A and B are shown apart, each in its own frame.
Chain A
Amino acid sequence: MESMDDMSKYLLNKFLYTIDRDPQLVERYRADPRGTVTWWEAERANVIMNLPTLEQSTWQKFDDTEREALATHDYVKLFELGAHPFLTLTLCIALFERDYPEPLGFQLEYATRLKHWRLPYPDIAT
């Protein structure tokens, strides 16, 4: 079971990573999170970064909790699931910082929404 959990974290991270590095996908995910997650899981989840699409994986998929967390931009849940906090934060800043008038306003709200967490935080190893 442990290894499947870790692989799931890997796929969450892969989603965050591949959206974050593409300006068009960042905007698409902001505007239509559920649709973007559905498209990505069908078309991109199995793509291996350094391989042509001919050589895709065959087994990558989210579980229902993960899919829902991504489809609702639920970064508190992603933290709990062990998604890499740097990836989640970086992408969320791109998505939401613009909605806050104060510098770091979004980042401080993000911290507040995670305030119930004490050490140890969820394991992020993949």
Chain B
Amino acid sequence: MATVAAVIASTHHPFYYRASTSPPETRPPFADAWVSKILAFRETLTHARPDVLVMVGSDHFHQLWLDNMPQFLIGKAPFYDANFYNEEREFGLPRMCLAGHEALSSYLLREGLDAGFDFAFSNELRIDHSVTCPIITLRPQADLPIVPVYTNIFAPPLPQPKRFVELGRLLRRLVEAWPSDERVAIIGTGHLSLELGGPRQFGPHGPDPEFDRKAVEWIANGDINGALREVTLDSLWTPGNATHGFMDFMLMMGVAGDNQRADYVDTLDLFHTMEAYFTWYPNGVDG
């Protein structure tokens, strides 16, 4: 059976690429500290020696639109072109093309449907920065095949937080039962408190540092019950109007498992959002 070599949860900050690649004279003051944190985080994936990456993210109104909006979608394609004109324009993100892993996509779709998750699927999916940011930070050589899993954290009505946790648990169970000798890293990105297009955007910290502190604790301790007790679709508006992206972190907590403490935890307080990086090794650091 396949091995879950690492479970990784991260924020996906589209400014990282430009901050880390611009020449010294135009580099923002926070860039060097950010880069060193990312290099340490990257090492946690490299150490796991993965063969394939299951990538959990959320389309930001790029390919998926309100005339036909899936709640949970798995890509099944031999390749995924990546990043969009408006991401090049706003963030300077490069165009990319990632190989797909169709066998694992097919397996997850079939077994997921049979287990009660009625996934949508896509045979021609262009992926956005929710998936490419962690490729850039964690695997910049972009040499591993991926299976994209998209969630709707963006266009209400949204699935309940507990559904994200259940999906995470299912992905973990299915990957571990996959008849393959490949090493799979399951990587997902979301947000802590975040406001976009509202009065609290781009403040000196994330819009709700207290939420961020609690959220980091929930994730680091695998405290799924604690998170589920406090987090509802309604409550997530309070820390910031884009904070529903935290549900992708809850999904990753489901992948990691109840009360599983992360093996690696790091944060970085940027000027408008808290960055947060977590890695679990389900079979031990060298497993």
Q: Which residues of A contact B (CB under 8 A)?
A: 10, 13-14, 17, 20-21, 23, 48-50, 79, 84-90, 93-94, 103-104, 107-108, 110-112, 114-117, 119-121, 124-126
Out of B67, B85, B201, name the residue touching A48 (CB < 8 Å). Answer: B67
Chain A, Cβ-Cβ closest to B234? A120
Question: B199 near A89 (CB under 8 angstroms)?
Answer: no
- With A48-B67, A89-B197 as contacts: A107 and B202 at CB distance below 8 Å: yes
- B264 on the A face (CB < 8 A): no
Chain B window 12-39, contacts with chain A (Cβ cutoff 8 Å), 1 for yes, 0 for no: 0000000000000000100000000000
A107 — which chain B residues lie within 8 A by C-beta?
A: 201-202
User: In the complex, A121 Cα to B201 Cα: how many Å?
Assistant: 14
Tell whether, in the assembled complex, residue A90 and residue B200 are in contact, meaning their CB atoms are under 8 Å apart.
no
Q: 1/0 per residue B61-101: CB within 8 Å of A?
A: 11001111000000000000000111001100000000000
Do the beta carbons of B198 and A17 come within 8 Å of each other?
no
B92 to A: closest C-beta gap in Å: 13
* B contacts with A: majority SS: loop
14 additional A-B pairs beyond A23-B85, A114-B199, A117-B198, beta carbons within 8 Å, are A17-B61, A17-B65, A20-B86, A84-B61, A85-B198, A85-B241, A86-B60, A87-B61, A89-B196, A89-B201, A107-B202, A112-B199, A119-B237, A126-B66
Q: Is B155 an interface residue (CB 8 A)?
A: yes
Question: Which residues on B sit within 8 Å (CB–CB) of A84?
Answer: 61, 155, 197
Q: For the complex, is B154 an interface residue (Cβ under 8 Å from A)?
A: yes
Any A CB within 8 A of the CB of B238: yes
B65–A49 touching, CB < 8 Å: yes
* Partner of A49 from B67, B157, B196 at Cβ < 8 Å: B67
Query: B129-157 CB contact bits vs A (8 Å, 1 = yes)?
Result: 00000000000000000000000001111
| B68, B90, B157, B237: the one within 8 Å of A90 (CB) | B90
Residue of B nearest to A118 (CB): B199
A21 touches B197 (CB 8 A): no
Partner pick for B196 among A85, A103, A108, A115, CB 8 A cutoff: A85
Whether A21 and B198, one on each chain, are in contact in the complex, defined by CB atoms closer than 8 angstroms, is no
Most B C-beta atoms less than 10 A away, residue of A50, A85, A94, A116: A85
Contact of A125 among B60, B68, B156, B241 (CB under 8 A): B156
